[in-house]
Structure 1
Amino acid sequence: MKIIIINGPNLNLLGTREPEIYGKTTFQDYFSQLQFKHKEVELTFFQSNVEGELIDKIQEVGFDYDGIILNAAAYTHTSVGIGDAVKAIKTPVIEVHISNTFSREDFRHQSFVAPHSKGIVIGFGLHSYDLALQAFLE
């Protein structure tokens, strides 16, 4: 099984950015743990702060991967383009958020990705990625 995690803006700062919301673990450290736990999966990840690069990656992998775990971060709430990219591909997408976006500012309650996703995992910290991965494995 071939799964990619695609992370959007500012997620490269995990471990230092607002640790009270996002925790103190870097994504690279967490990703290594996830790879070790799920050795049966060809698991990769991509991160960009640039909207167009995220769209390009979604289109690149969206026809031959078994699944995409997408945390579009702030672009979730603003990017029609990312939502359209998810809608245009064949690979199923699970939208993920580390924090509970519904307990935060009102603008974070809207998602342009959710209507085109297989499902959503929100608010379980970095464990949200593992929950999404388990959904693909079942």
Structure 2
Amino acid sequence: MKIIIINGPNLNLLGIREKTVYGNESFETYFEKLKGKFTNLELEYYQSNVEGELINKLHKVGFSYDGIVFNGGGYTHTSVAISDAIAAINTPVAEVHISNIHAREEFRHLSLITKECAGMITGFGLMGYDMALYYLSTKS
């Protein structure tokens, strides 16, 4: 089973930025742990700070992969284009947010992509990625 994790803007700074919100571990380090936990999955990771690159990646993998774990970062709340890209593909998408977006600034409470995703996991730190992978790997 082939699953890709796609992270959006500023998530390349995990472990460096706002440690009280996002923790002190880089995503690359955490990704290695995920690969060790989910040995039955073929996992890939992609990150971009550029909206169009995220859309291109969704288009590229959205018809051939078994699942996508997607954290759109700030684009979650602003990008109709990413929402449309998710709607256009066949591969199921699990939306993940490290922080609880509903406990933060009001503008973060709205996700434009949730309606196009299988579900949203928010507020469980990096463990949200584990939850999403578990869901996608057991989905028939």
**TM-score computed with the length of structure 1 as normaliser:** 0.99
Give 1:1-138 correspondences, 5 Å limit: 1-138=1-138
Q: AA paired with 2:134?
A: Q
Corresponding residue SS for 2:5: strand
Per-residue CA deviations over 1:43-78 (Å, capped at 9, x if unaligned) read: 001000000000000000000000000000000000
* RMSD of aligned alpha carbons: 0.4
Q: Displacement of 1:8 after TM fit?
A: 0.2
Q: AA paired with 1:103?
A: A
Q: Displacement of 1:103 after TM fit?
A: 0.1
Corresponding residue SS for 1:65: coil
Q: AA paired with 1:2?
A: K
Q: AA paired with 2:81?
A: G
User: Percent identity over the alignment?
Assistant: 57
Corresponding residue SS for 1:129: helix
Question: How many pairs are equivalent?
Answer: 138
Q: AA paired with 2:97?
A: H
Q: AA paired with 1:50?
A: V
**TM-score computed with the length of structure 2 as normaliser:** 0.98
